[in-house]
């Protein structure tokens, strides 16, 4: 019975899930969380750079969503709406964190980073090399994103990691479409320069 | 194609966001110009790297943690929104309110209206004087389901029965139950009326009782220690005209007898304030009056208005409470006025500065 319900929910569109939630179906909300949790967490992690903070903010996003989903009128798609909530949460959290760090007179050498993908102990066995390479590539992505400006990071995360189209990005960031296009070009150029400086042009071609 | 022109279109070219003609021109330029080709390959490699290694999975237990956090929340769809269902997606709050108002009116006036029907009972003996049935009785089926004898309302009168049958025939199925069981209709309406009156009667005490209850349940969380903070000294700063934000210096909230400007610095402070406002029947609104959630405030759009419905006896403690959340300016406070009603609207103009 439960499997049947899950199968039904899996096939439902976002709009149908929202309608079910408005009708009091808590399972519908649970399914929305499952559908979007990777995307929201990924956005928060790439935006904020710290795993623990990203997890906390991503949870906050869904709690905010739960509180306000009943008011969702479908003027934009659910995904755009969720991304907008997530982006606002990330913007606020990042500003708040940077302000706190400033207030705390953080040493010039910067904070302790825990934003790189979790390091794994050296292991042997099949797949170890691939995993190591994957971790190195993820660490590289992390470092490169940290090195570029926040404005550029925003568009890159939304376009190249979250795979949103220009129209959605414009809606989420409240920018004209042309601005998204030009900003994305500058952001990618900056990111490519950072990568080139870090690992050399040949290694970028993974 | 000019190299500078083509270079600026490389990113859009990768995304296929150019017109067909431009796509063809850039492709040709990449083929013909080695420097441009190198720039394109570098950009494409960076994008590929991000697409392959950028996406992340939520950590184990994330879903469970979210569901646990929302489990205790009372928020979510209101009974009205559930009633409206899919209509809730459209701006039909006005219609919803009208529907509910009509339903309440129907419940309240249903009895008397039925009595005006010459066929359904104004002349029936005992109907007007019939005492209201209890809630439990109102909930059980009417005489057609076998309860009539228990109530003694069948009257063993064939004439009445015939009269009622005639009414059924003439008024149709919509009024079938009411005409065949006027007592049930009258009883239900009186019960609803009683419930409504009861609600109205409790309304004056509701806010105070709610605050007391919340204070006991969540001390130091959402609800401040009002009594303790009421005795704290309050320093009032009158803002200059220049300090009053133009977006918030006018409008409906300017008429509130108590208006403060708060600059919360922590997201949690804002959330606590809005949670308190919602628990007391208020909320947060944009300068245009649209409901807002705390997450909607950003550095770019950092103005909002929070409305709190505070018991008059506790007004003095509002300002000290706000001070725990950030800088506060008292824009307007009619402290000397007497408030005949129990609840006073307090407007808090929020200028969020994370």
Considering the domain boundaries, does residue A136 fall inside one? Answer: yes
- Domain check: are A17 and A75 in the same one? yes
- Domain check: are A145 and A70 in the same one? no
Dihedral of alpha carbons B315, B317, B321, B326, sign: positive
Q: What pLDDT does residue A128 have?
A: 57
- Domain check: are A87 and A150 in the same one? no
Quote the tokens at residue A188.
């990618």
For an interface test with A, the pick among B38, B73, B83, B88 (most A C-beta atoms closer than 10 Å) comes out as B88
- Identify which of A167, A181, A59, A193 has the alpha carbon closest to the alpha carbon of residue B61: A59
Considering the domain boundaries, does residue A191 fall inside one? Answer: yes
- pLDDT surpasses 80 at A22: yes
- On whether the CB atoms of residues A47 and A94 are closer than 8 A, the answer is yes
ipTM tops the 0.90 cut: no
- Domain check: are A54 and A135 in the same one? no
- Domain check: are A21 and A70 in the same one? yes
Of the ranges A61-75, A87-101, A118-132, the best mean pLDDT one: A61-75
Considering the domain boundaries, does residue A193 fall inside one? Answer: yes
Considering the domain boundaries, does residue A35 fall inside one? Answer: yes
- Residues in chain B, overall count: 354
d(CA B39, CA B30): 9
d(CA B177, CA B173): 8
Tell me the three-class secondary structure of chain B, residue by residue. CCHHHHHCCHHHHHHCCCCHHHHHHHHHHHHHCHHHHHHHHHHHHHHHHHHHHCCCCCCCCHHHHHHHHHHCCCCCCCHHHHHHHHHHHCCCHHHHHHHHHHHHHHHHHHHHHHHHCCCCCCCCCCCCCCCCCCHHHHHCCCHHHCCHHHHCCCCCCHHHHHHHHHHHHHHCHHHHHHHHCHHHHHHHHHHHHHHHHHHHHHHHHHHHHHHHHHHHHCECCCECCHHHHHCCCCCCCCCCHHHCCCCCCCCHHHHCCEEEEEEECCHHHHHHHHHHHHHCCCEEECCCCCEECHHHCCCCCCEEEEEEEEEHHHHHHHHHHHHCCEEEEEEEECCCCCCCCCEEEEEEEEECCC
- pLDDT surpasses 80 at A96: no
Q: What pLDDT does residue B215 have?
A: 44
Considering the domain boundaries, does residue A65 fall inside one? Answer: yes
Q: What is residue A160's DSSP assignment?
A: I
Facing B81 at nearest CB: one of A22, A96, A144: A22
pLDDT tens string for chain B (354 positions)? 677 778 888 999 999 988 899 899 999 999 999 989 999 998 999 899 888 887 888 999 999 999 988 887 654 444 444 454 444 444 444 555 556 666 666 655 544 444 333 333 333 333 333 333 333 333 333 333 333 333 333 333 333 333 433 334 343 333 333 333 333 333 433 343 344 334 433 443 455 555 555 544 443 333 333 333 333 333 333 333 333 333 333 344 445 778 888 888 777 777 788 878 877 777 787 777 777 777 777 766 778 888 887 777 777 778 888 888 888 887 777 776 666 566 777 888 888 776
The mean of the pLDDT values for chain A is 79
> CATH number, domain at A184?
1.10.10.10
Facing A42 at nearest CB: one of B56, B78, B354: B56
**How many folded domains does chain A comprise?**
2
* Inter-chain residue contact B53 with A138, CB threshold 8 Å: yes
- Domain check: are A78 and A156 in the same one? no
Q: What pLDDT does residue B96 have?
A: 54
Q: Which residue of B has its CA nearest to A117?
A: B56
Axis crossing angle, helix A128-147 with helix A26-48, rounded to the nearest 10: 70
Q: What pLDDT does residue A160 have?
A: 92
Quote the tokens at residue B159.
């004439």
Q: Which residue of A has its CA nearest to B70?
A: A63
- Domain check: are A94 and A22 in the same one? yes
Q: What pLDDT does residue B98 have?
A: 59
Burial of B247 (0-12, 13-18, 19+ CB in 10 A): middle
Using alpha carbons only, how large is chain B's radius of gyration in Å?
32
Task: Please provide residue B264's backbone torsions phi and psi, each rounded to the nearest 5 degrees.
Answer: -70, 145
Interface size A-B, in CB pairs within 8 Å, comes to: 189
Q: Which residue of B has its CA nearest to A202?
A: B42
Q: Which residue has the higher pLDDT, A2 or B86?
A: A2
Number of C-beta neighbours around residue B97 at 10 A: 11
- Domain check: are A17 and A88 in the same one? yes
Judged by a CB distance cut-off of 8 A, whether residue B19 touches chain A is no
**Last residue of some domain: A102, A123, A158?**
A102
Buried-exposed string B165-193: b where 16+ CB fall within 10 A, e elsewhere: eebbeebeeebebbbbbbbbbbbbbbbbb
Dihedral of alpha carbons A111, A117, A123, A129, sign: negative
- Domain check: are A180 and A97 in the same one? no
Q: Please, which residues bridge with residue B285 across strands?
A: B291, B305
- The overall longest dimension of chain A from CA atoms, in Å, is 58
- What share of chain A in percent tops pLDDT 70? 74
Number of C-beta neighbours around residue B354 at 10 A: 21
Facing A74 at nearest CB: one of B15, B89, B354: B89
Q: What pLDDT does residue B115 have?
A: 38
- On whether the CB atoms of residues A42 and A48 are closer than 8 A, the answer is no
* Inter-chain residue contact B89 with A73, CB threshold 8 Å: yes
> CATH number, domain at A54?
1.10.1740.10
CB neighbours of A123 closer than 8 A, spacing ≥ 6? Answer: A131
Q: How far apart are the first and last CA of chain B?
A: 47
- On whether the CB atoms of residues B325 and B272 are closer than 8 A, the answer is yes
Strands B283-285 and B343-351: unpaired
Q: Which residue has the higher pLDDT, A104 or A201?
A: A104
For the segment A117-129, the average pLDDT, to the nearest whole number, is: 47
Full domain range(s) for residue A14 = 10-102
Task: Please provide residue B39's backbone torsions phi and psi, each rounded to the nearest 5 degrees.
Answer: -65, -40
d(CA B274, CA B348): 10
Considering the domain boundaries, does residue A5 fall inside one? Answer: no
Q: Which residue of A has its CA nearest to B89?
A: A73
- Domain check: are A97 and A52 in the same one? yes
Considering the domain boundaries, does residue A123 fall inside one? Answer: no
Judged by a CB distance cut-off of 8 A, whether residue B294 touches chain A is yes
Facing B81 at nearest CB: one of A30, A64, A70: A70
Confidence of residue A139 (pLDDT cuts 50, 70, 90): confident
Q: For chain A, give percent helix, strand, coil, nearest 5.
A: 75, 0, 25
Give the minimum alpha-carbon distance from B180 to chain A in angstroms, rounded to a whole number.
34
Q: Please, which residues bridge with residue A48 across strands?
A: none
**Adjacency order of strands within the sheet including B326-333:** B291-292, B283-285, B303-311, B343-351, B258-264, B326-333
Considering the domain boundaries, does residue A111 fall inside one? Answer: no
Strands B343-351 and B303-311: antiparallel
Q: What is residue A40's DSSP assignment?
A: H
* Inter-chain residue contact A160 with B51, CB threshold 8 Å: yes
Q: Which residues 195-214 on chain B approach chain A with CB closer than 8 angstroms?
A: none
Q: Which residues 40-59 on chain B approach chain A with CB closer than 8 angstroms?
A: 41-43, 45-59
């Amino acid at each position: 019975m439960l499997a049947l319900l899950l199968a039904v929910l899996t096939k439902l569109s976002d709009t149908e899930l929202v309608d079910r939630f408005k009708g009091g179906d808590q399972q519908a909300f649970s399914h929305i969380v499952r559908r979007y949790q990777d995307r929201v967490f990924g956005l928060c992690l790439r935006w904020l750079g710290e795993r623990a903070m990203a997890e906390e903010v991503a949870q906050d996003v869904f709690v905010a969503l739960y509180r306000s989903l009943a008011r969702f009128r479908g003027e934009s798609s659910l995904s755009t709406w969720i991304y907008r909530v997530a982006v606002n949460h990330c913007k606020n959290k990042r500003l708040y964190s940077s302000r706190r760090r400033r207030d705390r007179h953080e040493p010039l050498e910067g904070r302790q980073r825990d934003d790189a993908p979790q390091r794994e102990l050296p292991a042997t066995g099949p797949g170890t090399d691939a995993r190591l390479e994957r971790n190195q590539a993820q660490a590289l992505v992390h470092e490169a994103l940290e090195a570029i400006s926040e404005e550029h990071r925003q568009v890159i995360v939304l376009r190249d990691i979250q795979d949103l189209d220009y129209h959605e990005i414009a809606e989420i960031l409240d920018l004209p479409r042309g601005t998204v296009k030009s900003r994305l070009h500058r952001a990618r150029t900056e990111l490519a320069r950072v990568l080139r400086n870090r690992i050399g042009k040949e290694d970028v071609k993974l | 194609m000019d190299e500078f022109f083509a270079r600026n279109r490389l990113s859009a070219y990768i995304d296929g966001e150019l017109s067909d003609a431009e796509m063809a021109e850039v492709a040709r330029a990449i083929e013909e110009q080695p420097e441009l080709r190198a720039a394109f390959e570098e950009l494409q490699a960076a994008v590929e790297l991000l697409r392959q290694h950028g996406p992340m999975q939520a950590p184990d237990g994330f879903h469970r943690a979210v569901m646990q956090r929302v489990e205790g929340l009372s928020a979510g769809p209101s009974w009205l929104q559930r009633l409206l269902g899919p209509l809730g997606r459209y701006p039909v709050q006005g219609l919803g309110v009208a529907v509910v108002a009509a339903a309440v009116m129907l419940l309240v006036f249903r009895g008397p209206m039925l009595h005006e029907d010459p066929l359904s009972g104004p002349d029936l003996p005992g109907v007007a004087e019939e005492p209201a049935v209890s809630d439990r009785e109102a909930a059980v089926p009417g005489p057609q389901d076998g309860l009539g004898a228990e109530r003694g309302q069948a009257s063993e009168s064939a004439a009445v029965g015939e009269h009622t049958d005639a009414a059924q025939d003439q008024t149709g199925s919509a009024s079938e139950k009411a005409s065949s069981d006027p007592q049930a209709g009258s009883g239900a309406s009186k019960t609803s009326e009683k419930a409504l009156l009861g609600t109205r009667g409790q309304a004056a005490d509701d806010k105070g009782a709610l605050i007391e209850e919340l204070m006991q349940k969540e001390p130091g969380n959402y609800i401040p220690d009002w009594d303790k903070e009421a005795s704290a000294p309050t320093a009032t700063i009158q803002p200059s005209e220049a300090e009053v934000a133009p977006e918030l210096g006018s409008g409906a909230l300017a008429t509130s007898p108590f208006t403060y400007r708060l600059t919360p610095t922590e997201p949690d402070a804002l959330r606590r304030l809005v949670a308190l406002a919602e628990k007391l029947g208020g909320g947060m609104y944009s300068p245009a009056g649209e409901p807002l959630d705390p997450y909607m405030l950003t550095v770019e759009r950092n103005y909002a208005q929070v409305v709190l419905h505070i018991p008059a006896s506790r007004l003095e403690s509002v300002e000290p409470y706000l001070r725990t959340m950030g800088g506060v300016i008292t824009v307007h406070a009619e402290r000397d006025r007497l408030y005949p009603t129990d609840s006073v609207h307090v407007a808090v103009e929020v200028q969020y500065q994370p």
